[in-house]
Amino acid sequence: MVITIHLQLKSHTLATMNPASKNIQLQYQGFLNTHLLWKQHVVYNLLQLELPHLQCQQLTELYVPNLRLGKRVEQFVITALKQDKTIKILAQNVQIQNKKITVGELDCILRKIDRPIHLEIVYKFYLYDATVGGNELAHWIGPNRNDNLLKKLSKLRDQQLPLLFNKHAKETLIALNLKSEDLLQRVCFKAQLFVPYKSEISFNLLNKDCVQGFYVHFSALEQFSLCKFYTPKKMDWLLEVQTQVPWQSFTIFYEDVTVLIAAQRAPLCWIKFPNGDLQKFFIVWW
């Protein structure tokens, strides 16, 4: 089951926006144009939410400027869902509490036509490392090796989705005139995938359209000495590569990245090759 959403604003529309609004619009565009991590089949007993193709327009909602990336993505998902006339958002970011202790959170409860749905929202960046795990899903890890796809899928299946059936969620559902057993459960799991530089990687369960670039070890950067570089802030990892940014020379870029690598932080960067080609890539310290 698949979400198909595409946004392409005209350049003159972006040009008329103030810098903050333009940046959020580009984040939204990058989010919408990111593919689902899998489509039309079940992965780890998880189904993606199915939506028809939507015509997306310019953002008109106000957004808190300094949210962490995960919360910004949740806002974007709700914004996109509201464009579907068959969907009604019943609740979002629902805190499930046992007295004053928070047990967990339900990302979104919606009604699509006549069927209520509990939706969990995920947006991730994963790198392929064949030395980790023994199957396709286990090979995908976070940029700093403190996260992995298998762990996230397990958390969704075993913790986040079952929260709907927790006894402390009953009060919230009663207020919405719902029963847990009546809800379908779906995920909106989007991701950007990165593979080792100049390597051919074969995988079958995940969507190959999610591959957005490559990664290299810090020690291998010298081969790109004739290229230009830009390091977006974390929230702008959502963006597709932009041409009008302050590109750095290799020497300056290398100095900046050295600090990040020393702190064991793997940055997402943009690279402009001498022939003009643009791409995303990670530099890893491990």
Distance, in Å, from the CA atom of 11 to the CA atom of 14, rounded to the nearest integer, reads: 5
Q: Are residues 78 and 139 in the same domain?
A: yes
DSSP percent split of the chain into helix, strand, coil, nearest 5: 30, 30, 35
Amino acid at 205: L
Flag residues of the chain having pLDDT under 70: 1-17, 51-57, 62, 65
Q: Which DSSP string do the residues of 7-37 spell out, in sequence order?
A: ----HHHHHTS-HHHHHHHHHHHHHHTSPBS
Torsion of CA 217, 222, 224, 228, to 10 degrees: 100
Give the pLDDT score at 136. 94
Q: Are residues 162 and 228 in the same domain?
A: no
Burial of 193: CB neighbours in 10 Å, binned 0-12, 13-18, 19+: buried
Q: Are residues 34 and 154 in the same domain?
A: yes
Give the pLDDT score at 20. 80
Nearest to 215 by CA among 151, 123, 262, 285: 285
Give the pLDDT score at 7. 46
Q: Are residues 81 and 206 in the same domain?
A: yes
Q: Are residues 139 and 40 in the same domain?
A: yes
Nearest to 191 by CA among 121, 285, 118, 106: 121
Q: Are residues 105 and 135 in the same domain?
A: yes
Q: Are residues 156 and 221 in the same domain?
A: no
Q: Which of 175, 196, 214 is the last residue in one of the domains?
A: 214
The Cβ of residue 1 has, within 10 Å, a number of other Cβ atoms equal to 15
Nearest to 34 by CA among 85, 72, 91: 72
CA distances from 94 to 83, 90, 121, 233 (A): 21, 10, 13, 29
Q: Are residues 83 and 195 in the same domain?
A: yes
Q: How many structural domains is the chain composed of?
A: 2
Amino acid at 225: S
Q: Which of 214, 234, 259 is the last residue in one of the domains?
A: 214
228 is written with which tokens?
């230009």
Give the pLDDT score at 254. 98
CB 38 within 8 A of CB 247: no
Q: Are residues 82 and 32 in the same domain?
A: yes
Q: Are residues 129 and 219 in the same domain?
A: no
Range of the domain at 196: 3-214
Q: Are residues 176 and 161 in the same domain?
A: yes
Q: Are residues 123 and 56 in the same domain?
A: yes
The runs of H, that is alpha helices, within the chain are 11-15, 19-32, 69-81, 149-155, 170-175, 250-262
Q: Which of 214, 243, 263 is the last residue in one of the domains?
A: 214
